[in-house]
């Protein structure tokens, strides 16, 4: 199966976002990953829907929007209108998740559900029948540049097996601490989308680094 690379712009400088998006536009990455944080669900604050919509016209790449926010329902319309292609919210929020799934779908946007490292995969089992992707967090959400948690590999295998056994059409995206080595473990365990932030941005040339990571897995 093909591996999709979803570079997380959180690894780049916010003062340089036009250049980051234009570099990624020229790269082999299919997705661009946007980490939205509200300072409440996670102890960090990033950007809102306007930031995303301002960048929407710079590229046709798939905008993979990861909402690490509590009040998804309140702001969902703005992320829908902002030009998201995939919207993923967290299982751990206190909202009616089926309503969120339906609302996203009604707008012809793909929908994902994300789980934190401490959340057992069986808790989201039923949602695997209604979403397009699952994000398995391999770091505690909130910050880029953390180390990959090896103890999440079993979870990737279990979800992947469940998806196969039930013939579901669900992508498995891994978010946190991805590099060549950890990415390989995830792909072997059944993942097919890799988010990469600091690993790509700490290299000299973002386009070359992204293409190399893509080619390594394809």
Q: Which residue, 103 or 116, has its beta carbon nearer to ligand DX5?
A: 116
Q: Which residue is nearest to ligand DX5 (CB)?
A: 197
User: Of the listed pieces 44-52, 62-70, 149-157, 159-167, which binds Zn ion according to CB under 5 A?
Assistant: 62-70
Binding residue for ligand DX5, selected from 12, 49, 82, 141, defined by CB under 6 A: 141
3 dihedral zone (left: phi>0; alpha: psi -120 to 50; beta)? beta
Q: How far is the CB of 65 from ligand DX5 (least distance, A)?
A: 11
Is 175 a catalytic site residue?
Answer: yes
Pick the binder of ligand DX5 from 5, 111, 189, 195 (CB under 6 A).
Answer: 195
C-alpha dihedral (212, 149, 174, 33), degrees to nearest 10:
-70
In the list 46, 160, 192, 198, the residue contacting ligand DX5 (rule: CB under 6 A) is: 198
Instruction: List the helix and strand counts (H, then E) for the chain.
Output: 8, 8
| Spatial CA neighbour of 66 closest among 169, 175, 179 | 175
Q: Which is nearer to ligand DX5, 11 or 82 (CB)?
A: 11
Q: Is 52 in the site for ligand DX5 (CB under 6 A)?
A: no
Alpha carbon distance 84, 56 (integer Å): 8
Contact flag: residue 112 with ligand DX5 (CB under 6 A)? no
Among candidate residues 216, 179, 211, the one with its CA nearest the CA of residue 195: 179
Question: Which residue spans within the chain are E strands per DSSP?
Answer: 4-7, 31-37, 62-68, 86-90, 110-115, 133-137, 171-175, 193-196
| Nearer to ligand DX5 (CB atom), residue 106 or residue 121 | 121
Residue position matching structure tokens 């994902």? 112
Of the listed 23, 64, 132, 175, which one is catalytic? 175
Applying CB under 6 A, the span of 74-82, 104-112, 125-133, 190-198 interacting with ligand DX5 comes to 190-198
Catalytic residue chosen out of the listed positions 35, 64, 78, 132:
35
In the sheet with 31-37, reading across from the earlier edge strand, the strands are 4-7, 193-196, 171-175, 133-137, 110-115, 86-90, 62-68, 31-37
Find the binding residues for Zn ion in span 173-212 (CB under 5 A): 175
Interacting residue ranges for ligand DX5, rule: CB under 6 A: 8, 10-11, 33, 35, 66, 139, 141-142, 144-146, 175-178, 195-199
Residues labelled as active-site residues: 35, 175
Interacting residue ranges for Zn ion, rule: CB under 5 A: 35, 66, 175
């Amino acid at each position: 199966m093909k591996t999709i690379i979803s570079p997380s712009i959180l690894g780049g400088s916010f003062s340089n976002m036009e250049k980051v998006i234009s570099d990624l536009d020229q790269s082999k990455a299919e997705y661009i990953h946007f980490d939205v944080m509200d300072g409440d669900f996670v102890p960090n604050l990033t950007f809102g829907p306007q930031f995303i919509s301002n960048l929407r016209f710079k590229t046709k790449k798939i905008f993979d929007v990861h909402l690490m926010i509590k009040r998804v329902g309140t702001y969902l319309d703005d992320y829908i209108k902002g030009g998201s292609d995939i919207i993923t919210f967290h299982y751990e929020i206190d909202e009616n998740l089926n309503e969120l799934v339906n609302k996203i779908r009604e707008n012809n946007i793909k929908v994902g559900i994300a789980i934190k490292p401490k959340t057992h995969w069986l808790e989201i089992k039923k949602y695997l029948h209604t979403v397009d992707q699952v994000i398995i967090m391999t770091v505690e959400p909130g910050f880029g540049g953390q180390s990959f948690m090896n103890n999440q590999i079993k979870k990737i295998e279990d979800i992947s097996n469940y998806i196969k056994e039930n013939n579901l059409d669900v992508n498995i995206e891994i978010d946190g601490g991805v590099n060549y080595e950890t990415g390989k473990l995830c792909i072997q365990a059944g993942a097919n989308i890799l988010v990469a932030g600091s690993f790509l941005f700490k290299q000299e040339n973002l386009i070359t680094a992204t293409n190399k990571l893509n080619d390594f897995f394809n």
